[in-house]
Structure 1
């Protein structure tokens, strides 16, 4: 039961982040990131130069795309999606990112 509540909470958080991505671009951080896409090299350089953001995590998503999360020491953050052809597009952006130490999920046993 607790596992289902945690799973549903996590799914709700992901859905909320996705829904809020459009509004994130309309915030005060909506400068050159509204251009949305560019070469991975150029986009990463922009995040480093303008916001001092560096990659803190990454993973593969749909159709071989890579999702990366960039964060600065000041807490600004940007989600970046890179297609297999090397074009990177900005996803949600925000402030006040907090690292939360994840606890490993317990394996289910028995029927």
Structure 2
């Protein structure tokens, strides 16, 4: 199981993203944290993911959803200091769902 990384020690952002997304699930005990720019760069390089949505988590953090056209997705939270943690990751993202729901499906 992946242990939380708070101070940037142990794994590079590249290895951290690979380990976390390889498990394809998050638990309350597992999160990978690194500077936001490092995680975002690796999500783009490894999985071709880009930001799809962003929302405020109070005054201290934001949540971001990154997706790829191949269906992979990652949810990051980022604090005011620019530190991000991967909260969840998976496969099967579908942008068409909201369109289908509007059509009564």
TM class by smaller structure: 0.5 to 0.7
For structure 1, the 5+ residue unaligned runs are 1-25, 104-111
Moved more, 58-67 or 37-46: 58-67
Pick the structure with more helix per residue: 1
Among 75, 96, 99, which residue is 1:79 paired with?
75
The runs of at least 4 aligned residues of structure 1 exceeding 3 Å deviation read none
Q: Counterpart of 1:52?
A: 48
User: Structure 1 residues 84, 27: CA separation in 2 closer, same or farther (over 3 Å shift)?
Assistant: closer
Q: How many residues align?
A: 77
Q: Matches of 2:48 and 2:38 in 1, distance apart? A: 14
The question of 1:30 aligning with 2:26 is answered no
Structure with a larger share of its residues in strand: 2
| 8 Å CA contact retained: 2:21, 2:90 | no
**TM-score, reference length from structure 2:** 0.63
CA RMSD of aligned residues (A): 2.7
Gaps of 5+ in 2: 1-18, 25-29
TM-score, with structure 1 as normaliser: 0.60
